[in-house]
Every structure is written in structure tokens, then in C-alpha cells.
Structure 1
């Protein structure tokens, strides 16, 4: 029509799709990697928005937009640390999955720099520190509870088994021993922990 303006069809399959992720994903990776590096180097008390922004090579406002508090940064860094090289086990056997999971936890806590960070985060006071602790344990334990869901599907556990509670009961003593250093963590500890936990649900 005269005077009309042709409008492109946004649903046209020939139209290039808008990219998602990209720079945003790269920035997230940079910031979380920097937060972990600062945390391991300076401990929880040395973790600041400014230090992380400088280490990541981004503006402080970029960090604040996604991680508004130090607690958010600490939680992201701790989750990255726990997940790095430690995928949730999926061997097809409940006992073997639990053995691998607990071994991952004990080996992680055996690293001096990791134990230093965990200890500093545990004793730190304030809402940010509490948020970091809660977010880390809730998200990591929730992710690990898929082990229980798979075991239920295979018929290895009763259908009403509380996955989150089982994982907490399994790894909780490892954190206690590592944090307070009052008893050694060895192979016998891993096996006896698994046996004790499974005895309560079978």
C-alpha cells in the first residue's frame, strides 16, 4: 500500500536467531573464577566485591548486578570449587555412588587451602556469611540427592527415602572431622559412614 512501511517478520525462519549466553556466560565464568581465586588466596575475610572485580577485569557494577553481596560471591565460589573435577557420581550402584561422593568430599577437605576457606566461612559472622554457608550446603546437597532418586528408581531404596537427609547424614561427619580435626578421615571412616547411613533407611 502507498505510504505503508514493510515490517520484517520476526518469526521468519531465515532471520538469524538472537544469541543467548555469549558475553554474559563469559563474564559469569570470569567472575566466579576470580571469586574462587581470591577466596583461596585471601580467605573469606579477604573476599570483597572490589577484589573480585579487579581480578576478573570487570567493573564493580558488573559484579553487583549478579552477585549483590559478598555472601553471593562466596557461595558461587564454593559451589564452583566443590563441582570442579567432582561430578555427581552415577555408577549405577547406590553404594558405589555414595562411596565416590564421600571420597570426593574427604579429598577436597584434605587440601589445606580448601580447609582454610571452609573454616573461615564457618566462623564468619553476619548475614552475608550465613547466606554463603546456607546456599552452598543447600545447593550442593540438593544436587547430590539425585543419587538417592536414582537408587529409588532402581529399587535399591524405599520410595519414601529422604534424599537430602541421607546425603546430609553421609557427609556431615566428614565436615565435622575436618573442621575440628579431632579424628582422622580414612578408608574405614568412608565405609562405616556408608553402612551407618544405609542401615537407617533399609
Structure 2
């Protein structure tokens, strides 16, 4: 009987290598910080050759940005609650939760501080933020389809309005990222677009009937 050829999934090994490299890079970043990240250490932890890493990532800045993007994709997925307000609130709560982790905050501060004069570092940072905005843009498209936002709504502006106060507190003031902050941030984003947050349960409805 003639043996059937083994069917290999296209890109299977490449995809596994990429996953292993990004996981190894994220572990090093979170546990030891950006300064301790090297291509050699990542390759050893991922059990691949250094050339395998360099074929996809030009340097450690580019690798760090990609690893953070993957971490954000997994731990900060774009919500779909059925309303713009619900999506904004869920997204901001997720952003706050991930930034409350000291190891994530430390790495983010290191990436933000990458030298502006290094073209590779600039491209890495741009790639990280572009991916985050691209994912969040789906949230805005759904709101447009539901009629909550006009068709010319700018996803970048909306997400900037939502996320900017988080990073301002993180990088500048150090003030708490608590529930009151989340409520205020969502309300401001909605008000700038002529919308109002829904009243909390038990408030704002018609008065109860007598008797």
C-alpha cells in the first residue's frame, strides 16, 4: 500500500517559532526589564537560532515592541459589549488593569524612553502604537454602524481622548487609576461627541408609582 504524504500545515514551524520568541521576549521584559533584553538571550530561551530571530526582528527595540503588542492583544482584547459606552468603559478598565502591573509599567516606561534619534527605535514604537490603534478602530466602526457615532468619526481621535489621560497619570502625575477616573474619562469622551453616559441602575428613571 502506498503511503500517503504527510500533510504539513503551511507556516506551522514559522508560527511556532514566532510565538516562542515573542513569549520569551515578553518574559524577559517583564521579569528583568528592557536593559537585560538581548537577541541572544531571547533566542536561547525560545530554543531557536539567533539568525531566526534576526530574520524577523531587526533589533531588540523592534522585538520588544512586537512582544508588547502581542501581550496587549492577548490581555487587552478589544471588547464588544453592544454599546459605545460599554466598549469604552471595558477597554479603559482593561488598559488600567494591565498598566497597574508593576512589571508592565516598568517595561512601558522603558519603551517610551527609547531614543528618538534611533530610527529603528522610532519605527518600533510607531509599530506598537499603530497596531493598538488598528485594533481599537473596530470599536469605533461598530459604533458608527449602530448609529452612535457619525460616519466621519475619527478612531484615532476617540482612542487618543480615552487613553491619553491614563498615560498622563502613569508618566507624569502618578495619580491613581481608580473607578472614579474611569467614569470621568468615559464621560469626557462621550461629552466631546455630544453623547451622555447612561445613568447608573436605579437613577434617572421615572419616579416609582404611589401605593
Counterpart residue number, 1:25 = 15
Q: Would you say the 8 A contact 2:75–2:98 is kept in 1?
A: no
Per the TM alignment, residue 115 of structure 1 is displaced from its structure 2 partner at its CA by 0.4
Q: Which runs of 5+ in 1 are unaligned?
A: 1-13
Aligned residues: 189
Change (3 A) 1:22 1:82: same
**Does the CA-based 8 Å contact 1:110-1:178 persist in structure 2?**
no
Aligned to 1:118: 108
Residue 18 of structure 1 and its aligned partner are, at CA, apart by 6.1
2:185 paired residue among 184, 193, 197: 193
Match of 1:6 in 2: none
In the other structure, the counterpart of 2:34 is: 44
- Tell me the CA shift for residue 19 of structure 1: 3.0
Please list the CA deviations of residues 52-86 of structure 1 after superposition, one character each: whole Å capped at 9, or x if unmatched: 11111110000011112212201111111212232
Structure 1 residue 21: Cα displacement: 2.1
The range that moved more, 18-27 or 50-59, is: 18-27
Q: State the shift of 1:119 in Å.
A: 0.8
Query: Please, what TM-score do these two structures have when normalized by structure 1?
Result: 0.87
Give the conservation status (yes or no) of the 8 Å contact 1:53–1:60: yes
In structure 2, stretches of 5+ residues that fail to align are 195-211
3-state SS in 2 of match to 1:193: helix
